[in-house]
Structure 1
Amino acid sequence: MATTPDLLASDQVSLAVSTVIFALRPHPTTGSTTLWLPLVRRIREPYEGLWALPGGPLEPDEDLAASARHTLERTTGLTPGYLEQLYSFGAVDRSPADRVVSIVYWALVRPDEDARATDGENVEWVVADEVEGLAFDHDAILGYALDRLRAKITYSPIAFAFLTPEFTLADLRAVHEAVLGRPLDPANFRRQVLASGTVVPTGSHLTGTSHRPPALYRRAGHLEENR
C-alpha cells in the first residue's frame, strides 16, 4: 500500500543534541561550593519564555560531539576539556510539536575554564539542585545527569575533570563534597585517595599560605574526555 504524505510527515523523527554543563561555584546564599549550570530562555514556541538546557537540532553536516561543542561555545563561550555523551532521551511525547530524540552530552568545567565563561543573550547560570519547571523533559534530563554524576564520582576519576592539572587533596575533597552535597572526613578521604593510587605528588607545594603549605598532586594517568 502506498504511504500518504501525511503519514510520512507523522512518522518523521528529528534528532537533537542537548548539553548539561556543570561548573563548581559558590552558592549565592551559603557561600559553599556547589554545582551550577547554564540555562537558555526559549524565544519561540513550544514553551516560549521557559528555561531549557542548551541545545538544538542536529545539523546534517555535524557529528554529535561537534554539535555539543558548538552548543557549549555558543552558549557560554567555553571549550572545556571534558565532554562525554551521557544518554539518549526519546519518549514519544517529549515534544508537543513533533517526534524528537535528543542525544544528551555533559561537560564538566574546571575553575580556569569557568573564569573564561561569558553570558550570552537569554542565558543564565543557576544552582543545579534548585532548578525546576524546565521546558520539555529537561527536568528529568537534569535529574538523570545529577544522579549519574553523584554515582560516578564514588567509583571513577571523574572528579579530576573539575580540577586544574595540579591540586591539593583538600581541593579534590572539596569537589567530592560539592558534588555529593555533604561533608567528608578529611583524614579518611586522604587515606582512601592515597591508597587508591589515582594521584601522585608533584614534589611542589601550594604557595602563599600562612601555615604549612599543602602538597600539590596530579592525576595518575589520563582522564577520558571528548567522547
Structure 2
Amino acid sequence: MSGASLAVSTVIFALRSSGRFGEDGGERGLWLPLVRRIREPYEGRWALPGGPLGESEGLAEAATSTLAKTTGLAPRYLEQLYAFGDPERSGEQAGSAGKPAASGDRVVSVVYWALVGDDEARAARIGQNVRWFPADDLPALAFDHELIVEYALWRLRNKVEYSRIASAFLGATFTLAQLREVYEAVLGRTLDPANFRRQIEASGVLEDTGEVLTGVRHRPPRLYRYNQAVDLADQGPLGRLAQK
C-alpha cells in the first residue's frame, strides 16, 4: 500500500557580485546556496537545502531549523512558496528528505523561499558541500529543484513590482540608486534612473529620512526608508496568522 511523506526545502536568494559578499566591485545579481548530496539518489549533485518534516514540527519551523543546520542562515523574510507532489517524484525524491521511502511512496515537498541581505549572507556557512551559485547559471540540480528555483524566481519578480519586498535585501535606509540596483538584479534588466525615481516617488512606498549618505566623493544622495504602513509582502490571512 502506497503512502506519502512530507519534506521541507527552501530557496534562498541574496544579492552579491562575483566577488565576496559586501564588496562594491562588479555588477550584483541574485545568488542562492545549494547543498551537495552525499548519498543516493543523485549523490554528488547539488540540491536545495531541505529535510524531512519532524512529527512535532510546524512547516515554517522545519524550514528554519533545516536552514540553520545546513547553511547557518536565519532569514528575516521567509514565505511558503508551493507544495510539489507529482507522483513521479516518489522513490528517488524521497531521498531528498533525508530518509528512504517505501516503494510507491509519494514525497510531497513543501517549499519555502527566503531573502537575505549582505550581513546575513556573509554569515552563511560554506564549505565542500555548501556553496553559493548565481541564480542564472546553476549546475544540474537533483530531483525537480531546477523547476522549483524557476518558480521561486518568477514569484520574486512578480512581488517586487507591487510590494516592499526589495527591502529584505537592504538595510534600514538606502539610496534610490541602491534600491534600483535591487530591482535590476531581480528583474534581470537595466532600468532608466529618471523613470525609476518618478515611479517610486509616485508610489508612496518610500519616506525621505532627511539624511544623506556620507563618505562619498560627489554630492551625497538622500537616504530613504520604506513606509512601514506598506506590508513587506501580502501573504494573506494565513501569513498574518503566522505572525501572531
TM-score normalised to the size of structure 1? 0.90
Q: Tell me what 1:61 maps to.
A: 56
Which residue of 14, 26, 31 maps to 2:17?
26
Q: Identity of aligned pairs, percent?
A: 62
Flag structure 1 segments of 5+ consecutive residues without an equivalent.
1-6
Q: Give the RMSD, CA atoms, in angstroms.
A: 1.7
Q: Tell me what 1:79 maps to.
A: 74
- Whole-angstrom distance in 1 between the partners of 2:206 and 2:154: 25
Q: Does 1:118 align with 2:105?
A: no
Query: After the TM superposition, which residues 153-164 of structure 1 pair with which residues of structure 2 at under 5 Å, given as runs?
Result: 153-164=160-171
Q: Tell me what 2:3 maps to.
A: 12
- Whole-angstrom distance in 2 between the partners of 1:162 and 1:72: 18
Q: CA deviation at 1:112?
A: 2.0
- Whole-angstrom distance in 2 between the partners of 1:160 and 1:197: 15
Asked whether the equivalents of residues 163 and 232 of structure 2 are also in contact (C-alpha less than 8 Å), the reply is: no
Q: Tell me what 1:102 maps to.
A: 109
- Whole-angstrom distance in 1 between the partners of 2:5 and 2:152: 22
Q: CA deviation at 1:117?
A: 1.8
Q: Tell me what 1:145 maps to.
A: 152
Paired residue type of 2:148? I
Asked whether the equivalents of residues 95 and 136 of structure 1 are also in contact (C-alpha less than 8 Å), the reply is: no
Flag structure 2 segments of 5+ consecutive residues without an equivalent.
20-24, 93-104
- Whole-angstrom distance in 2 between the partners of 1:150 and 1:95: 30
Query: After the TM superposition, which residues 30-49 of structure 1 pair with which residues of structure 2 at under 5 Å, given as runs?
Result: 31-49=26-44
- Whole-angstrom distance in 2 between the partners of 1:76 and 1:207: 33
Q: Does 1:179 align with 2:174?
A: no
Paired residue type of 2:18? H
SS of residue in 2 equivalent to 1:24: strand
Q: Tell me what 2:88 maps to.
A: 93
SS of residue in 2 equivalent to 1:133: coil
Q: CA deviation at 1:120?
A: 4.6
Deviation by residue 1:18-38 (Cα, 9 ceiling, x = unmatched)? 00000000036x931100001
Asked whether the equivalents of residues 76 and 120 of structure 1 are also in contact (C-alpha less than 8 Å), the reply is: no
Q: CA deviation at 1:46?
A: 1.3
Which residue of 138, 141, 146 maps to 1:134?
141
Q: Does 1:223 align with 2:232?
A: yes
- Whole-angstrom distance in 2 between the partners of 1:214 and 1:74: 40
